[in-house]
Structure 1
C-alpha cells in the first residue's frame, strides 16, 4: 500500500474532533474457529516490536481468532500515533495460525515548519514541539505540539488556528503547518446606559481588519477600569462573518458615579468635625469629573471646587482646574511656637496632562495662592498685625499607572508610581516664596487568593528653599497617612511613609481591612523635630453604598495613644 502522507494531517483532524480513526477493516472468515498460536508484528523499522505488542491486548495466544478483537487491537496500534497504516494477515503454523499485524511507519522527522505566522518568530516555537528531528513522526506528539503552539500564541495575545487542509507531511519527514492569525471583525459594546460610547471607544486601540492582540485589548480594558466609571467589564469573543475574523464583545456594568457624601471626625485638638461632598465623575456621560466639598471643625474650614476633562477632542491631552479657600485657626510655626495666628488661604490650580511614553504620563500644574496670617496671641510682640504671602508654583509630575482591577472595580494587583517636582518663586514665577519640593510614591498590590489582596504604599518627600511658607511643610497623621494619630501629628521638610493593608472582600458591598502604618515628618535642622518613627495599626471596614460610594471606617491604635476612629470615602491608597 502506498502511503498518502497528507492522511497524517487528516488524522490530526480526526484526533481533534474525537472521530473514528482510519485503518484497514478486518475481513470475515469461515465459521470454523482457528486458534491463535503466534502473534507477530511486521513492517516496523524504528519503532520497537515490543512497543506494538504491549498494546495488543484483545487477541491472545491459545484463543480462537476473533475479528472483533483483531479490529480492536488494530485501533490500539493505530492510536500509538507512529503508523500511517495498520493491516493484518494470518498464516497457518503448527498448532494453529500466526496473526501478524503489518504496519507502515511514519517517516522520521526532518523539520517542522509553521507558515502564516507574522507576530511570532519561528525560532520561538522550537520548544513547543514535543517531537525532535530524527524521531519517527508520532501523530499524538505532533498534535500535542500543535496544541502547545496555539496555547503559546494565545499567551502572547494572538488567536491562531491551524489550516489542516493545507498542511502536509512529505515522504522525507518535513512537516508543514499553515496557521491563520485571526483578525478583528469589529468591537461590540453593550451595557452602557449613562456613558457615551465614544468614551469607551476612545480607550480601545484595536483596529478593525488588523490581527487581534488580546494583551493590548486587555490593557485597554484595564485603562477603562482605571477611569473609575465601571464596576465590571466582561469581554467575550464571537464568530465573525469570515473564517479568519472574530468579533470582540464587551459588556459593561456602570458604576454609580454621582456621589453625595458626608463625613464625621473627632480629633483631640479640633474636636468634632464634619464635611459634605458632591462628586460626579461621569458628567454628561463624557467622563468629565466635577467635585465640590466643604469640611469644617472648630479650628478649620475648607471649601473646594474642581473640574477635570480626561481628554480634549480626539487627543490624549487632559485639562482641569481647582479653586479652594481654607481658614485655619490657632496655628504656630516651629520658628515661633509662642505666636498663635489665624490663616486664610485662597488659591487655584490649572493642570494639563499629556502622554510621554508607552506607560508613562506627564502633567504640568500651575498654582497661584495667597495666604493671610493674622496673629491672635503674640507673646513676643515681634510680628506685624497682618502678613500676606503670595505663592506661585509650577509642578511637573510623572505617573505610571499599571493597577489591575477585578470584579466590582476593586484593585487586585499591579502597581502605580508617581514622582513630582514643584518649583516656587524665581525670576519667572515670582511670588514671596522660593523653594523646591519633591515627592515620590509607589503602590504595589498582590492577589493572594480570590477576594484576598495585600497592598503596600511607600512614599517620601523633600523640601528645600530660601523662603518656604509653613503651609508647604509635609504633614503626617490622620486617616490618609498615619492612622492611630491625630491630623498634623508631625510636620517637617522631610517625610517618609509606609502603609500596608490586607483586604478581604466579604461580598459586593463589604470589605474587611487590617492595616499597619509607619512613618514620620521631620526637619533635620531643628533639634526639637528630629526623626521619630511612628507606628499605627488597626482594623477597618469598607461599605459600598449607592449614591454615597465607598464609605471607609477605620479604628487606629498607636503606642501611648487611645484608639482613634476615622470615617472617610474611598480606599486610603
Structure 2
C-alpha cells in the first residue's frame, strides 16, 4: 500500500515532503500510525494547530491524506518556579532566561525538558516528572506555558551497596576509585558511568549494569562484578649476531606480576633480565592501594643492576600516591641509590662509588579501552621530577632528573590504528659517572638495538606503529623508531633509527609477540646483520 500526504497549499506540501515520511506500508494500521507520527513531528516543529483533514482510499493500493499545517509558532515562553529549577540549569538550554520565565525554540522543547529532568534526577529525585500546562497563544508567532515539576518524594540517597558475583571485591575501590559510597545522593546515570570504569581494573570486570531496589525509606544499589584473571607471566627471547665475534647471541627476561590475590587490590612484580652485554637486572616492586581504607597508597621498589665485572647499582624507592579519580594519580616519595665500582684496578675514572638520595614528584594519567583485549590502554602520560644530592669521595653534588613516558592510540576505524609513544629522561648534573648514566635500548625502548646497550645523560625517543587487526586476536604492525641521546660523560651525541615489522597473536596460552627490527645510527649504513628478532609471550592466570 502506498501513502500520499499533501498540505493545504503548495508550501505546506513542501514542508510535509521534507520530513521524508514513510510512503510504503503493509496495512491500514501502519498508515494510520505514520500519519499520527507525522502530526506529532509537526507539533514539535511549532505547528501546534495542525489538523488532519482525512485519510481516503483512492484504490486498492493507494491512500491519500491531507494535513492542514496552519500557523507555525517559533518561540515559547515557559514560566517556572525557582524552587523547582535552578536558573543555572536553564542557561545551558536557553539564551534568554529571566527570573520567572525562559525562552525556547519550539523545536527544542522536548530535548530541553529531558535535560531539565536529568538535572533534577541528579539531585536524588529519580521519579520526578515534567509537564507543560496552560499552553496558549501569546502573540502571532509565540506561545506561552507553565512548567510543572511533579516530585513529591524526598531526595533519594544510597543507603546500601551490595556487590554480586565478586563479594570479596575490595570496598575501598568503590569509595576512592569510583567515588561511590553510602549516604551519597542517588544519581543512576552517574553511577552507571562510574561503574564502567571498573573495566579498567585488570582484576575485576562489570558483568551487567547496576540495578536499584527502591523501598519506601531506602535505596539499595546492586553492582554486578566478576573476578578476572589478573596474574601475568611475561617473557621474551631475543637473538642477533655479535659484530665482533659474528656469533649468535641470546638475551631475554622474565616478568611475573601477581595482582589482587589477597582481594586487596595489591600488586607484586618480580623481574629478572639478562642482556647481551652481560648485564643483569633483578627488580622487585609492590603496590599497596588505599592503606587503612584511605585514598593513600604506597609503591615500594628494589632494583639491583650488575654490569659484567664493572659495577653494581642498587635502587630503593618508596612513593606515596593519591588516586584523584579513576584516571588521575599523583605521587610523592624518596629514592636512594648506591653504586659500587667492582674493578680491581681502577683503570678508569668514569666509574666510581657513589650514593644518591632524591625526592620525587610524579603525575599519571591513564585512559583504558577495555573493549580491546589486544590494546587495553588507549592513552597514558607519566611525568616525574626528582631532585637531590650525590655523594662520592667526600664530595657532595646537586642533581635533578626529569622523566616522561606517554603513549596514544589513534583509532582510525575498527581495524586500523596508529600507535605513538614518547619516552625520555634527562639527568642534570655538573659531572657524570658512567655507572649513573641512563640506560635504554631494546624491545621496550628503541627497537633494533641490544637491550640496555645505550648509555646517556639525556635521551628522547619516539616509537610509532601502524597497526592492522585481522580479527580480535591477530594483528600486524610496522616499526619506525627514532631517538636522540647525549652522553656528557664521553661528550658524544647521536641520532638513532629503528625500522621493522611485527605481529601479535592472542592464544590460549597468552599474547605472543614477534618483532623484527634493524637499528642504525645517523652516520652508518643499513646492515642486515644488525637486525634483532624479539619474541615475547604474556600469559594471564
Query: Is the pair's TM-score, using the shorter chain for normalization, greater than 0.5?
Result: yes
Residue 284 of structure 1 corresponds to: 262
Distance in 1 of aligned mates of 2:252 and 2:203:
27
Give the corresponding residue for 2:498. 535
Q: CA deviation at 1:54?
A: 9.6
How far is the alpha carbon of 1:125 from its aligned partner? 0.9
2:225 aligned to which of 252, 266, 274: 252
Question: 1:174 is matched with which residue?
Answer: 144
Kindly name which structure, 1 or 2, has the bigger radius of gyration based on alpha carbons.
Answer: 1
Contact 2:77 2:104 in 1 (8 A): no
Q: Distance in 1 between matches of 2:38 and 2:253?
A: 79
Residues in 2 aligned to 1:282 and 1:480: alpha-carbon distance in whole angstroms? 25
1:479 counterpart SS class: coil
Structure 1 residue corresponding to 2:341, chosen from 373, 394, 399: 373
Selected match of 1:112 from 78, 84, 107: 78
Give the whole-Å Cα distance in 2 for the aligned partners of 1:408 and 1:274.
27
Identify which of 459, 482, 491 aligns with 1:495.
459
1:234-272 superposed Cα distances (whole Å, 9 cap, x missing partner)? 552546527999987644354312234443222545922
Superposed CA offset, 1:471-530 (max 9, x none)? 332233211111122223432211111112334455554443333211132236855x22
2:513 matched residue in structure 1 = 552
Asked if 2 retains the 8 angstrom alpha-carbon contact of 1:268 and 1:486, the reply is no
Distance across 2 between alignment mates of 1:53 and 1:534: 64
Instruction: Describe how 1:260-409 pairs up with structure 2 within 5 A.
Output: 260-268=233-241, 271-296=249-274, 299-329=278-308, 341-354=309-322, 360-375=328-343, 382=347, 389-408=353-372
Checking the alignment, whether the CA contact within 8 Å between 1:391 and 1:432 is kept in structure 2 is no
Task: Tell me how far apart the structure 2 counterparts of residues 274 and 156 of structure 1 sit (CA, whole Å).
Answer: 58
Q: Which residue of 1 aligns with 2:22?
A: none
**How many residues were matched structurally?**
471
Please tell me whether the aligned partners of residues 257 and 268 of structure 2 are also in contact (alpha carbons under 8 angstroms): yes
Which shifted more, 500-509 or 559-568? 500-509
| TM-score normalised to structure 1 length | 0.66
**CA–CA distance in 2 between the matches of 1:320 and 1:243?**
45
| Cα distance in structure 2, aligned partners of 1:218 and 1:104 | 45
What secondary structure is seen at the aligned counterpart in 2 of 1:425? strand
Residues 152 and 565 of structure 1: CA distance in aligned 2, closer, same or farther (over 3 Å): farther
From 134, 145, 148, give the equivalent of 2:109.
145
Distance, in Å, in 1 between the alignment partners of 2:446 and 2:536 is 14
CA separation in 1, counterparts of 2:408 and 2:362? 17
Name the CA shift for 1:496/1:166 in 2 (closer, same or farther; >3 Å).
Answer: same
- 1:508–1:544: 8 Å Cα contact kept in structure 2? no
In 2, Cα distance between equivalents of 1:76 and 1:355: 50
Q: Deviations over 1:303-335 (max 9, x none)?
A: 222221022122221113222333221xxxxxx
Q: 1:160·1:179 contact (CA, 8 Å) conserved in 2? A: no
In 2, distance between residues paired with 1:191 and 1:72? 44
Partner of 1:203: 177
Output one character per residue of 1:215-251: Cα deviation in whole Å (capped at 9) or x when no partner.
67535643x3444324x43552546527999987644
What is the Cα deviation at residue 392 of structure 1?
A: 2.4
- Could you say if the C-alpha distance between residues 162 and 102 of structure 1 is closer, same or farther in structure 2, counting changes exceeding 3 Å? farther
* Alpha-carbon offset, residue 542 of structure 1: 4.8
Contact 1:184–1:207, Cα closer than 8 Å, also in 2: no
1:212 to 182, 187, 198: 187
After superposition, what is the alpha-carbon deviation per residue over 1:47-75, rounded to whole angstroms, capped at 9, x for unaligned?
x89749998xxxxxxxxxxxxxxx99997
Q: Which runs of 5+ in 1 are unaligned?
A: 1-39, 42-47, 56-70, 90-99, 330-340
SS of the aligned residue for 2:461 comes to strand
TM-score (norm: length of structure 2): 0.69
SS at 2:91 equivalent: helix
Q: Give 1:288 shift.
A: 0.7
Query: Where do 5+ consecutive residues of structure 2 fail to align?
Result: 1-6, 17-31, 55-65, 97-101, 243-247, 521-525
| CA distance in 2: counterparts of 1:550 and 1:406, whole angstroms | 16
Aligned to 1:236: 209
Tell me the secondary structure at the aligned position of residue 121 of structure 1: helix
Change (3 A) 1:461 1:112: same
CA distance in 2, matches of 1:54, 1:370: 81
Relative to structure 1, is the Cα distance of residues 353 and 250 closer, same or farther in structure 2, using a 3 angstrom cutoff? Answer: same
Secondary structure at 2:290 match in 1 = coil
Q: Deviations over 1:339-362 (max 9, x none)?
A: xx5222334222222357997532
Q: Which residue of 2 aligns with 1:565?
A: 533
Contact 1:542 1:552 in 2 (8 A): yes
Q: Secondary structure at the match of 2:452?
A: coil
Shift of 1:540: 2.8
Question: How far apart are the structure 2 equivalents of 1:469 and 1:174?
Answer: 80
Q: Residue deviations 1:507-566, cap 9 Å, x none?
A: 554443333211132236855x223242333223153655xx544332223352433111
- Secondary structure of 1:147's counterpart equals helix
Partner of 1:486: 450
- Do 2:317 and 2:334's aligned partners in 1 also have CA atoms closer than 8 Å? yes
Give the conservation status (yes or no) of the 8 Å contact 2:421–2:463: yes
Which residue in the other structure is 2:166 paired with? Answer: 192
Distance in structure 2 (CA, Å) of the matches to 1:72 and 1:561: 74
Partner of 2:4: none
Alignment partners' CA distance in 1, 2:504 and 2:149: 52
Distance apart, 1:425 and its partner CA: 1.5
- How far 1:105 sits from its partner (Å)? 7.6
Output the aligned Cα RMSD: 5.0
Q: Is the 8 A contact 1:509 1:545 kept in 2?
A: no
CA distance in 2, matches of 1:105, 1:164: 26
